[in-house]
Amino acid sequence: MPTEVALLESRALRGEQMGRVDVLDKVKSLVMLPDGVHVRTEDVARYFEVSTETVKKVTQRHRAEVEENGLVVLRGSDLRLFQRDMLSLWGREGQESYPQAATQLTLYTRRTVLNIALLLRDSDIARCVRTYLLDAEESLRTQYASLDHRVTRIESCLTGVGSALQELGPVLVRMSERLDSLDRKVEMTHQVVGAMSLRLTDVQQDVGRLDGRMDAFAGQLKDLRRRNGQGGQR
């Protein structure tokens, strides 16, 4: 984990923190210009509770770094255009006038202000920003370590599950084979039952024909007895 001194000394470590502009307002409210994007040198000095000269010196010593993180200096037509836009926005907010720069205007973004916070040694506010960043990173590392431990436990459990599944595999194969055999037996039973049903139909038809013949034979016996009775009376 980096230390506060490491942040002050290492540009690479500072670069890793440039996405954490949210910490600025968590430490102290940063008042932006009407465009909601930029602040001036005096605004930065007011935020860190230092003089404008202190901010200018830090900016000058690390010019390339702060320009990489959003510092711009407006002059000429760019300055006039920016001031006109600010006057328009300032009027919408009910302000009477917007303070204008004479020949040039240095502007900082939130990213630039965070960069200054990681460079400014003689400011309690800057020190609080650095402490907040380091504490947040330590908390994140702790959460990551906890998550890594949980993932390791899950992986070990999955290893045990894998072994159990390997042992279960042959059992499942045997069960599948027995079910297939049972399916074949059931199919054969269906075929036998179907054949028996057809045979019973044939038997029923034979019984019907036999009943018909028996009825005819009974009728013949009645006729024979009737004739024999009539012959005896003569």
* pLDDT per residue as tens digits for the range 78-118: 999 998 888 888 766 555 555 665 789 999 999 999 999 99
pLDDT at position 208, please? 74
Cα–Cα dist 13/3, whole Å: 10
What pLDDT does 144 receive? Answer: 45
Residue 176 in domain: no
| Structural domain count of the chain | 1
Is pLDDT of 189 > 60?
yes
**Helix (H/G/I), strand (E/B), else coil: 72:** strand
pLDDT the model gives residue 115: 97
Q: Give 21-54 pLDDT, tens digit per residue.
A: 999 999 999 999 998 999 999 999 999 999 999 9
pLDDT higher than threshold 80 for residue 151 = no
Residues 200-233 have pLDDT tens digits of: 777 677 767 777 778 777 778 887 888 877 665 5
- Dihedral angle over CA of 68, 71, 75, 80, nearest 10: 120
With respect to residue 85, please indicate whether it lies within any of the assigned structural domains.
Answer: yes
According to the model, what pLDDT value does residue 77 have? Answer: 92
Domain that holds residue 57: 2-89+98-144
Q: What tokens appear for 43 in the block?
A: 């605004």
Dmax (CA) of the chain: 163
Higher pLDDT, 143 or 68: 68
Q: What does the alpha-carbon distance between residue 191 and residue 17 come to, in Å, rounded to a whole number?
A: 78
Q: Is residue 115 one of the residues assigned to a domain? A: yes
In a domain? residue 200 = no
Decide if 17 contacts 126 (C-beta within 8 A). Answer: no
What pLDDT sits at residue 42? 95
DSSP for 156-209, please give it. Answer: HHHHHHHHHHHHHHHHHHHHHHHHHHHHHHHHHHHHHHHHHHHHHHHHHHHHHH
Token pair of 232 as six digits = 């005896």
- Give a yes or no: residue 122 inside a domain: yes
Does residue 116 lie within any of the structural domains? yes
Half-sphere exposure of 162 (CA within 13 A, CB side): 6
Across the chain, the runs of DSSP E, i.e. the strands, are 39-40, 72-75, 104-108
pTM: 0.58
Q: Are 134 and 4 in contact (CB under 8 A)?
A: yes
Residue 207 lies in a domain: no
- What pLDDT was estimated at residue 217? 75
Decide if 73 is inside a domain. yes
Helix (H, G, I), strand (E, B) or coil at 100: coil
Contact 124, 27 (CB under 8 A): no
